[in-house]
Amino acid sequence: MKSKSVVLFALAATLGFATLAAAGGGKECEHAPAKAASAQPAAIDQQLAQRAAHGWLGFEATKDEATGAYSVIKVVAGSPASQAGFREGDILVALNGIALNAQNKEQLKAAKASLAVGQQVHYTVRRAGNERQLTATLAPVPQRLLAQWRTELVKEQGEQMAQAGN
Protein backbone atom coordinates (compact mmCIF):
# COMPACT_ATOMS: atom_id res chain seq x y z
CA MET A 1 0.00 0.00 0.00
CA LYS A 2 1.50 3.31 -1.09
CA SER A 3 1.00 6.42 1.05
CA LYS A 4 2.02 10.05 0.99
CA SER A 5 2.80 12.09 4.10
CA VAL A 6 1.21 15.52 4.25
CA VAL A 7 1.81 18.19 6.89
CA LEU A 8 -1.50 19.82 7.67
CA PHE A 9 -1.53 23.36 8.92
CA ALA A 10 -5.00 24.43 7.95
CA LEU A 11 -6.85 21.58 6.34
CA ALA A 12 -6.42 18.15 4.87
CA ALA A 13 -6.59 18.46 1.13
CA THR A 14 -4.47 17.38 -1.76
CA LEU A 15 -3.47 20.93 -2.48
CA GLY A 16 0.25 21.19 -3.12
CA PHE A 17 2.33 24.23 -2.39
CA ALA A 18 2.57 26.67 -5.26
CA THR A 19 5.87 26.73 -7.03
CA LEU A 20 8.14 29.71 -7.11
CA ALA A 21 9.19 29.49 -10.75
CA ALA A 22 7.12 32.46 -11.88
CA ALA A 23 7.56 34.50 -8.70
CA GLY A 24 11.29 33.76 -8.53
CA GLY A 25 11.97 34.71 -12.10
CA GLY A 26 11.59 31.37 -13.91
CA LYS A 27 13.65 31.53 -17.13
CA GLU A 28 14.86 34.97 -16.12
CA CYS A 29 17.16 33.22 -13.59
CA GLU A 30 19.23 32.03 -16.52
CA HIS A 31 19.63 35.49 -18.06
CA ALA A 32 19.65 37.84 -15.09
CA PRO A 33 20.80 35.99 -11.95
CA ALA A 34 21.29 39.15 -9.87
CA LYS A 35 17.74 40.35 -10.52
CA ALA A 36 16.28 36.89 -9.86
CA ALA A 37 18.27 36.50 -6.65
CA SER A 38 16.88 39.81 -5.36
CA ALA A 39 13.32 38.68 -6.17
CA GLN A 40 13.68 35.37 -4.34
CA PRO A 41 13.38 36.61 -0.74
CA ALA A 42 10.32 38.70 -1.64
CA ALA A 43 8.67 35.74 -3.38
CA ILE A 44 9.38 33.47 -0.45
CA ASP A 45 8.10 36.03 2.05
CA GLN A 46 4.92 36.40 -0.01
CA GLN A 47 4.33 32.65 -0.11
CA LEU A 48 4.97 32.32 3.63
CA ALA A 49 2.53 35.13 4.37
CA GLN A 50 -0.13 33.50 2.18
CA ARG A 51 0.30 30.14 3.90
CA ALA A 52 0.38 31.64 7.39
CA ALA A 53 -2.77 33.69 6.78
CA HIS A 54 -4.79 30.48 6.58
CA GLY A 55 -3.81 29.41 10.09
CA TRP A 56 -2.59 26.21 11.70
CA LEU A 57 -4.24 23.25 13.41
CA GLY A 58 -1.27 21.11 14.40
CA PHE A 59 -1.67 17.63 13.03
CA GLU A 60 0.00 15.56 10.36
CA ALA A 61 -1.79 13.06 8.17
CA THR A 62 -0.96 10.46 5.58
CA LYS A 63 -2.93 10.03 2.38
CA ASP A 64 -3.42 6.46 1.28
CA GLU A 65 -2.90 6.67 -2.48
CA ALA A 66 -5.02 3.56 -3.10
CA THR A 67 -8.12 4.78 -1.22
CA GLY A 68 -7.55 8.54 -1.08
CA ALA A 69 -8.30 8.54 2.66
CA TYR A 70 -6.34 10.74 5.06
CA SER A 71 -5.29 9.26 8.40
CA VAL A 72 -3.99 11.41 11.26
CA ILE A 73 -0.50 10.17 12.17
CA LYS A 74 0.57 12.91 14.59
CA VAL A 75 -1.14 15.51 16.76
CA VAL A 76 1.03 18.28 18.20
CA ALA A 77 0.60 18.54 21.97
CA GLY A 78 -1.17 21.74 22.97
CA SER A 79 -2.18 22.53 19.37
CA PRO A 80 -5.71 23.50 18.32
CA ALA A 81 -6.08 19.96 16.91
CA SER A 82 -5.11 18.46 20.26
CA GLN A 83 -7.50 20.76 22.11
CA ALA A 84 -10.32 19.83 19.70
CA GLY A 85 -9.80 16.12 20.37
CA PHE A 86 -8.04 14.90 17.22
CA ARG A 87 -6.23 11.60 17.79
CA GLU A 88 -3.70 9.56 15.90
CA GLY A 89 -5.57 7.10 13.72
CA ASP A 90 -8.54 9.37 13.03
CA ILE A 91 -9.68 9.20 9.40
CA LEU A 92 -10.51 12.65 8.02
CA VAL A 93 -13.90 12.50 6.28
CA ALA A 94 -14.96 16.12 5.72
CA LEU A 95 -13.94 19.73 6.32
CA ASN A 96 -16.73 22.22 6.96
CA GLY A 97 -19.18 19.76 5.42
CA ILE A 98 -17.12 19.15 2.27
CA ALA A 99 -16.07 15.53 1.78
CA LEU A 100 -12.30 15.14 1.51
CA ASN A 101 -12.06 13.43 -1.86
CA ALA A 102 -10.78 14.10 -5.37
CA GLN A 103 -14.24 15.02 -6.65
CA ASN A 104 -14.35 17.99 -4.28
CA LYS A 105 -10.87 19.36 -5.03
CA GLU A 106 -12.15 22.74 -6.26
CA GLN A 107 -14.58 23.12 -3.34
CA LEU A 108 -11.78 22.29 -0.92
CA LYS A 109 -9.50 24.84 -2.59
CA ALA A 110 -12.17 27.51 -2.19
CA ALA A 111 -12.77 26.50 1.42
CA LYS A 112 -9.05 26.69 2.17
CA ALA A 113 -8.78 30.11 0.53
CA SER A 114 -11.46 31.45 2.86
CA LEU A 115 -9.83 30.21 6.07
CA ALA A 116 -8.01 32.59 8.40
CA VAL A 117 -6.42 32.64 11.83
CA GLY A 118 -9.11 32.80 14.51
CA GLN A 119 -11.78 31.03 12.44
CA GLN A 120 -13.34 27.76 13.48
CA VAL A 121 -13.12 24.71 11.25
CA HIS A 122 -15.38 21.70 11.56
CA TYR A 123 -14.05 18.26 10.70
CA THR A 124 -15.89 15.01 10.44
CA VAL A 125 -13.58 12.17 11.46
CA ARG A 126 -14.04 8.43 11.60
CA ARG A 127 -12.71 6.80 14.74
CA ALA A 128 -13.22 3.14 15.63
CA GLY A 129 -15.88 2.87 12.93
CA ASN A 130 -17.96 5.81 14.18
CA GLU A 131 -18.10 9.31 12.75
CA ARG A 132 -17.79 12.29 15.06
CA GLN A 133 -17.59 16.05 14.68
CA LEU A 134 -14.54 17.99 15.88
CA THR A 135 -14.29 21.78 15.92
CA ALA A 136 -11.00 23.65 16.19
CA THR A 137 -9.98 27.28 15.99
CA LEU A 138 -7.16 28.08 13.56
CA ALA A 139 -4.12 29.48 15.35
CA PRO A 140 -1.19 31.52 14.08
CA VAL A 141 1.49 29.34 12.50
CA PRO A 142 4.31 28.73 15.01
CA GLN A 143 7.61 30.43 14.19
CA ARG A 144 9.48 27.11 14.07
CA LEU A 145 7.10 25.87 11.36
CA LEU A 146 7.46 29.10 9.38
CA ALA A 147 11.24 28.63 9.53
CA GLN A 148 10.84 25.06 8.25
CA TRP A 149 8.60 26.23 5.39
CA ARG A 150 11.15 28.93 4.49
CA THR A 151 13.92 26.33 4.29
CA GLU A 152 11.76 24.11 2.06
CA LEU A 153 10.87 27.01 -0.25
CA VAL A 154 14.50 28.13 -0.57
CA LYS A 155 15.51 24.57 -1.44
CA GLU A 156 12.66 24.23 -3.95
CA GLN A 157 13.55 27.53 -5.57
CA GLY A 158 17.23 26.56 -5.81
CA GLU A 159 16.25 23.31 -7.53
CA GLN A 160 14.05 25.21 -9.99
CA MET A 161 16.84 27.66 -10.74
CA ALA A 162 19.26 24.78 -11.36
CA GLN A 163 16.76 23.10 -13.72
CA ALA A 164 16.21 26.36 -15.60
CA GLY A 165 19.96 26.62 -16.11
CA ASN A 166 20.16 23.17 -17.72
- Ranges 4-13, 37-46, 90-99, most confident: 90-99
pLDDT, position 166: 65
Tell me the mean pLDDT in the region 39-55: 79
Tell me the mean pLDDT in the region 120-138: 96
* pTM for the whole structure: 0.69
- Ranges 4-8, 30-34, 89-93, 100-104, most confident: 89-93
Q: Which domain holds residue 75?
A: 3-165
Supply the CATH number for residue 52's domain: 2.30.42.10
Q: For a pLDDT cut of 90, what percent of the chain falls above it?
A: 45
Domain count, the chain: 1
Q: Is the pLDDT of residue 52 over 50?
A: yes
pLDDT, position 102: 86
Q: Is the pLDDT of residue 53 over 50?
A: yes
Tell me the mean pLDDT in the region 29-45: 53
What HEC string does the chain produce? Answer: CCEEEEEECCCCCCCCCCCCCCCCCCCHHHHCHHHHHHHHHHHHHHHHHHHHHCCECCEEEEEECCCCCEEEEEECCCCHHHHHCCCCCCEEEEECCEECCHHHHHHHHHHHHHCCCCCEEEEEEEECCEEEEEEEECECCCHHHHHHHHHHHHHHHHHHHHHHHC
